[in-house]
Amino acid sequence: MTGSQFAEDLREALGAESAGLWVFFMDKIDATVPFLLRSAGRPKRDEIAASPIGEAGFDSWFSMIEAAPERGGLGWSVDSWKAWKRAYAVVQEHPYLRGLDMTASEINTLAREIKPFPASLEELETAKADRREKLEAKRGNAVSSLRRQLTESQQELETVANQLRGVTEDRANCREAYLALETAHRELEQEHHKTQGRLGVVEENLNLANAAKVELEGQVKDLESQVGTKDETIGKLKSRLNRYANMTKWEHFKAMFR
């Protein structure tokens, strides 16, 4: 087989992962350039040179994978190749997987999460059912946790909002008292030669009132910030809760392979 024909045959086999036909792509690799599957290391130069890869003008398999089709390459991804290689090893070890129309991604996910890998189709179906139940339980726990967090955040918001209302009222009263003292101070300054003693008392009260006003304004600012943060948290929790609660059965199925 020439290098160009080899590349053309492989390009035709690409893009068929969703139908489970990726296995035939890997079968062709196994039949034509089996040294690519033997180990995780780089193939020897003489193996590459004597293979259709070398005949196509490439000095490595990775360069052929990534090269554009017009240059004789596959226009593919090295990461995808590595994923298919891992999945193919599972298929070779468990031949019953052939013909199940499973993607390489699905096989790799199951191989990662189910150990040891099921030895038969019946064991596989049982393991997948157990996995679905665990995912559903996990989803249910996540929804319960989100609802609990939402309730707690709403309660915290109500507490902070009540504090804000109280401090805001105190601030208004303090400002009113401050304005009254400020007015009295101005009046007394005008007659300070007659009211020196009273002026000192008023100035002291004015300073205390100003300090109280500044402190209350700081508390109001801090509480307003807390209310804003709680509102944002509640918004995020509601969004996540809606997303979990509104998942379709198809989305539940897809979640198995995430």
Model confidence over 35-64: pLDDT tens digits?
999 866 778 899 999 999 999 999 999 999
Token pair for 80: 């995808």
The yes-or-no verdict on residue 16 having pLDDT over 60 is no
Q: Are residues 51 and 142 in the same domain?
A: no
Asked if residue 163 lies in contact with residue 157, where contact means CB atoms within 8 angstroms, the answer is no
Q: What is the pLDDT of residue 176?
A: 80
The yes-or-no verdict on residue 120 having pLDDT over 80 is yes
The yes-or-no verdict on residue 118 having pLDDT over 70 is yes
> 146 or 107: whose pLDDT is higher?
107
Q: How confident is the model at residue 257 (pLDDT cuts 50, 70, 90)?
A: very low
> 85 or 233: whose pLDDT is higher?
85
Q: Are residues 107 and 129 in the same domain?
A: no
pLDDT in tens, 172-207: 888 887 788 778 777 777 776 555 566 677 778 888
Q: Are residues 99 and 20 in the same domain?
A: yes
The yes-or-no verdict on residue 19 having pLDDT over 70 is no
4-17: burial string, b at 16+ Cβ within 10 Å, e else:
eebbeebbebeeeb
Q: Are residues 135 and 105 in the same domain?
A: no
Token pair for 219: 């508390």
Total number of domains in the chain: 2
29-57: burial string, b at 16+ Cβ within 10 Å, e else:
beeebeebeeeeeebeeebbeebbbbbbe
Q: Are residues 112 and 137 in the same domain?
A: no
Find, among 142, 202, 150, 160, the residue nearest to 177 by Cα: 202
Decide which of 59, 94, 117 is a domain's last residue.
117
Q: What is the pLDDT of residue 171?
A: 83
Token pair for 59: 């000095």
Q: Which domain holds residue 24?
A: 3-117
Q: Are residues 48 and 142 in the same domain?
A: no
Q: Are residues 178 and 209 in the same domain?
A: yes
Q: How far apart are alpha carbons 235 and 238 in whole angstroms? A: 5
Asked if residue 21 lies in contact with residue 28, where contact means CB atoms within 8 angstroms, the answer is no
Q: Are residues 82 and 159 in the same domain?
A: no
**Cα 57 to Cα 6, 11, 29, 77, 179, distances in angstroms:** 12, 16, 18, 19, 89
Q: Are residues 134 and 240 in the same domain?
A: yes
The C-alpha torsion from 160 through 165 and 171 to 177, rounded to 10°, is -150
Decide which of 117, 136, 157 is a domain's last residue.
117
The predicted model gives 242-246 an average pLDDT of 71
What mean pLDDT is reported for the chain?
81
Q: How far apart are alpha carbons 196 and 193 in whole angstroms? A: 6
Instruction: Give the CATH number for residue 151.
Output: 1.10.287
Decide which of 57, 92, 117 is a domain's last residue.
117
Q: Are residues 187 and 240 in the same domain?
A: yes
